Structure 1
Amino acid sequence: MFKAKNVIRIGKGANAVLARPLSGIPLAIWAFSLTFALALGSTAAQQTPPPNPHSPPPTSVTHQMYLDMKLGTLNIHGDNAVVEALVLQRDIPITYDYVATLMRTPNAFGEGPACIVCHSSNDQLKSYRGLNLSSCEGILLGATEAPANPIVIKGEPFQSHLIQRIRNNRMPLGTPFFAPVDTDSILAVKDWINAGALNDENFTTKVLPLFVDPVAFGSETACTECHKSFRDPPSFNEVNLTSYDAIMTGAFSKTRKKQNLPGLPIVVPSNAEASPLYQRLTTSRMPPGTDPGSPADHPNTLLLMRWIEQGASCD
């Protein structure tokens, strides 16, 4: 086993694995996980007989991992494989200790400073938004500067503002971090939503044309360049901003329709702050400096989401 340019190689020949350690996971633990898994499952890629229905159940998660690899049902490959295969798929409890490590680790969710550099106190004179990410209590309390709001909704990672800020890029892509959020165009969208998001003359003449204007929201790309149909591709997240009905249909409508579910709303009438459409026009991805082209689902982000999904326990 050796390390070069933050990449480790474990095993020999065709069975070797190249992997890059994750932020917040010590190299020794990372390497041990892969070495142990490979040692147990060196024949995982080969055809093996189905499990014996009369075999005793696994006695531990380690035993289960061994059985899965022996049967070829656990495949470990790629940078994020260990987290996905050994943690997320097995619903291993995520402790607050690990979450605390993430908040203190630079580049934990993408290139940028540690979260607690900017958010370490509920005092709004010392910490942006009066947000304290240096303790579990602070995370659950949320932002204290007006408008005060929680950043974690237990059991609902996608509804939690903390996850939204880590995953979601400001729109349109390429908008500078310090671009104003109170321009006439943005306020027009905000006022339309807060007035009930009606399909009226104001929407038709003042709001809808903004989505086809390449300079309306601080970039040089019209919203409809990336959001013009219910298919992905060509429209990211199956968002369609070409008409009132399309906007109100929401995101992932085509995919969710197959599951007899409505699209995810991007507009919450009378509540711009809760509307993803307005949020994406005004909030930049955290931490500052994260490349908008970097993957939204960094392994550490997935672990943070799982912690919230499991109830955001402080234990």
Structure 2
Amino acid sequence: MASVARRLGVAPSTLRTWDRRYGLGPSRHTDGRHRRYGSSDIDRLELMQRALLRGASTAEAARYALQQMPRTEIVPPADEPATPAHAAPADGEVPSRLARRLSTAALAMDVGAVQRMLAEALDELGVLAAWAGVVEPVLTALGARWRGVSAGAEVEYLLAECVYAALVRATPVLDVPRNLRPVLLACVPEERDTMPVYALAAALAGRRIGAQLFGVPLPAEVLAVAVRRSAPAAVVLWAHRRAVADPRLFARVSRGRQRSRLFACGPGWDVATLPDKVELLADLPAAAGRVEHVLVGAGR
């Protein structure tokens, strides 16, 4: 143990604490009562140290190291009861597990692990379930933490960039979409929370619904021109903040001979202030389902 402690630059007592609390101790048994650190044990501890240097807490760094390099027999942290290997995942367990792993990887500033976690969540759960059960909760939690003290803003920015890239990769290019005219997806001017429209575009593409996406918020006059030139079958305007959700925007984008179905999506809209012909969509699953139904009907 002393030689391992010197190699890592920590006290032997620290190694004993990590072994007792997090199950990051030696796994090789000798003929007597002693155990010895193997090369995989040391690699795991070095992975934990890199996570610590990048700002993760000790518990988060330990969990991250064990997730990246699982042991044959993992001793769970004292505050986390062991789960029987034969137990079936409970409802919500898979999203929660993926969210924990994604959060730990983001806190460790491990871009590769974040990308793998996002790809796994999107593949295993689908775009909308991964967004609601994994991505959005982690983004919200990390945003609250760095505004508190624990995690830095760089963690949230790193995760956001990876999420944008993952959602773009999850959006198939449609050779022959089911809708003849596209649905135009856009954020209202000055909206900062643009990621949900990427998730909606990916979900619609998965249903073979073609969309024209403007993820960067456009000025009102530019958005109106884009709608006029695209001649979409439907327009969905996303607003997260009430301060930027101006219902008068719908009158500007609906001018012209080509009429489109108009939808407001996001928590920023107030249904009481929306024009009569504008339909409020409660959330992303409701938006995907309703847009699909309006454009092509319920059948696949």
Normalised by the shorter chain, which TM-score bucket? under 0.3
TM-score by length of structure 1 reads: 0.24
Q: Which has the higher contact order (CA 8 A, sep 6+)?
A: 1
| Larger fraction in helix | 2
Task: Compare CA radii of gyration and give the structure with the larger one.
Answer: 2
| Larger fraction in strand | 2
TM-score by length of structure 2 reads: 0.25
